[in-house]
A and B are shown apart, each in its own frame.
Chain A
Amino acid sequence: MTTQYDADVIVVGSGAVGSNAAYELLKQGKSVIVLESGRWIPRWKIVENFRSSPRKGNHNDPYPNQPWAPTSFSPDYIENTGSFKFLPGMLRLVGGTTWHWAAATWRFLPNDMKLRTLYGVGRDWPISYDELEPYYGRAEFNLGVAGSDTQDQSGQGGAGQFPHRSTPYPVPPEAETYYFQRIKARLAPEGFNFIHEPNARTNQPWDGRPGCSGNNNCMPVCPIGAMYSGDVHAKHVVKMGGKVIEDATVYKLEKGSDGKIVAAHYRTSDHKDIRLTARYFIIAANGLETPKLLLMSDVANSSDQVGRNIMDHTGMGLQFLADEPLWPGRGQVQQGGIFNWRDGEFRREHSAIKHALTNTVPNRAITQHLLSQGIVGPELDEKIKDWAARWVDISSVFELLPNPENRIQPSATRKDALGIPTMTVHYNTDDYIERGAVKAKADYAKFVQTMGGTVINDNTGWQNRDHIMGTVIMGNDAKTSVVDKDCRAWDHSNLFMATTGVIPACGVVNPTLTGVAFAIRAADIIAKEV
């Protein structure tokens, strides 16, 4: 008797990573159902929510936050038990959290993938840059990435393209902002290597998206859709005959007698429970919800590594006033930065570091600061104008090492409105990034000095960066990792993870492009087997 399935493949999660996996499977003729806990929301509603919100610095605020599909900022959704308040801004809607990101789409370096071998710390990736390279190219094409084909992205000041590419960036880099040009002109002679940030914010028409026109609102929402978000491919999935089921929170993966996964169970907001079957399952529910679902289902965890090794690019920041007008806030919210500490022998001793130049319109931060000092009247207007011209905002990230004690677990005591456990996170920073922080602060002093600056804040403390890695860690050994280099669960041959959570050494670059590249690669493998 032939077994009947609801689909060849079920994808849990409709974000950038899951939607790209579904899209690639549909291209290869497979039937796909995508299950999404949130709903479809049109862009204009999110833009209006943003414009009429009193909390414009809260990037989750314009997005739906339902008791049956809570965002990570829903009160008590994430209970922290460690010394650091780990609280990334994760969303629940079709398209996922790439609705609010700054669309940084870097490739990791070959050396990032050999951290243990080269520098004796952390873990190696079980896959080489060369193996992943073609999939990086396909991911960049899907997202319409704008980038430079001629820069040494390792930040070591090399003369030409690095790492090597088999295909050019699909979109050329946008023009440098005046702000970026001036800071580079003054700091580069001091030995700081500036790199353009490849980004999925197209500057020419691409896949139905317009070119960026500098609305300066990548976070929390691009009002014109120039910046890529996962709903682009969720829409493609529907057009190609795939199914995206909204209001479908998966709470259980069902194991069969042969060790394979046989069904996904989801619950709707009106508490209907539905069971769907498929030949293969891809879990693409972000770096926190994915391990939570595995742990709730008691699957894929023979290594006891599910949910462990959380790595964010825990960071810090610097704000100062330069001695010349730089006019930040014109163009996109970020464009690159300083990468001297991206790679080198120093990684034996301390974390890699990225210093990114933030280019947001600074009026709100400045005005809040001035009002707190009691400045009013004509002086207030004058100072807003003057400071807004000279404001420099640096956002730094650090490479945390995988630590099994840093972990996410389903809450033992709390549940959401569907009766599904919320989550508990235990997260501590480590000496590796503390030693990196010493180097970063020395850089900060040099930036300020060289720019003739006046410090506003150079001691922010550790901050969330919302780059979740390590939680379904990839490796060569089933005893110490959750998935193999294909993103396949060691314990279940038809279960794959499509999330940045697979990344085993986090470098300093934003991980989403790598998550998409791995997802495309996994889709190719699944398509051959289904």
Chain B
Amino acid sequence: MRFTKKGLSRRQVLATSLTLPALGSLPGFARAAGLVTLSQFHDLCGTLTGKSGLNLEISNRILTALTALDSSFPQKVGSLISAMKTYGLKDMSDFKQFAEQNANQAPVAMSIISAWYLGYTGTPLMDATPAVGHPVDDATFVTYVGALMYAPTADTTVIPSYSRGHTNYWVNPPASQSAG
């Protein structure tokens, strides 16, 4: 799927009842879990990250990238959604227990959470030599400023390469913290 400059709106998604591109070729999955729309995947992302108002374009990128890594990913998403429904997982504070009872589904959830927090899928190599046990660099960019790992420190540090300060601002602790 390609985005226009304006990207996908939730309305467009709902209006076209978009289905996963890879899903159409997976009749077995369609029978097992029904059609999973981008909208449903987006909702799943909201539950797994505990965030509302996530960017739909990023959900779509994650879905596309993780499906490229593993063509059965949409099926696994369907199974995860079913398992979460069966368990009644609505609050991620319960995730540890859910993961213990759903060993097959937990890694799928972690791959989605990881993509949202780190801003990429797969395993990046830091140099020319393959990592032990992971011979291929299969990393795909998802987002930079949208990576959720930066939100908790938004009031204290920059997202690297951006600046909100001026020369020598760093002499002081963050303004939001210094009063305490």
Contacts and interface: CB of A to CB of B under 8 A. Distances in A.
Interface string B80-103: 000000000001110110010000
B7 interface: no
Given A221-B161, A378-B93, A213 B129 contact: no
A52 B147 CA distance: 12
Interface string A380-404: 1110110011000000000000000
Given A87-B127, A325-B177, A388-B156, A381 B170 contact: no
Contacts of B129: 85, 87
B19 to A, nearest CB: 26
B139 interface: yes
7 contacts: A60-B127, A216-B161, A330-B158, A330-B165, A363-B153, A371-B118, A384-B153
B170 A54 contact: no
A330 B161 contact: no
B171 A52 contact: no
B151 to A, nearest CB: 7
From B99, B117, B139, B166, name the one whose CB has the most chain A CB atoms within 10 angstroms: B117
A439 B124 CA distance: 34
A422 to B, nearest CB: 11
B26 interface: no
A340 to B, nearest CB: 25
B53 interface: no
Interface of A: 47, 50-58, 60, 72-78, 85, 87, 89, 174-179, 181, 203-204, 211-217, 221, 223-224, 325, 327-331, 360-361, 363-364, 366-368, 371, 374, 376-382, 384-385, 388-389
A377 B167 contact: no
Interface string B137-175: 101111010001111110011111111011111111110
Interface of B: 48, 50, 91-93, 95-96, 99, 106, 109-110, 113-114, 117-122, 124-129, 137, 139-142, 144, 148-153, 156-163, 165-174, 177
A75 B137 CA distance: 11
B92 A55 contact: no
B170 A330 contact: yes
A388 B154 CA distance: 11
B99 A361 contact: no
Contacts of B157: 216, 327-330, 361, 363, 388
Q: Is the interface of A mostly helix, strand, loop or mixed?
A: loop
A197 to B, nearest CB: 14
Nearest to B159: A361
Contacts of A325: 173, 177
Given A175-B170, A177-B171, A377 B95 contact: yes
Contacts of A181: 171
From B50, B127, B144, B151, name the one whose CB has the most chain A CB atoms within 10 angstroms: B127
A347 B165 CA distance: 43
A376 B171 contact: no
Contacts of A203: 167-168
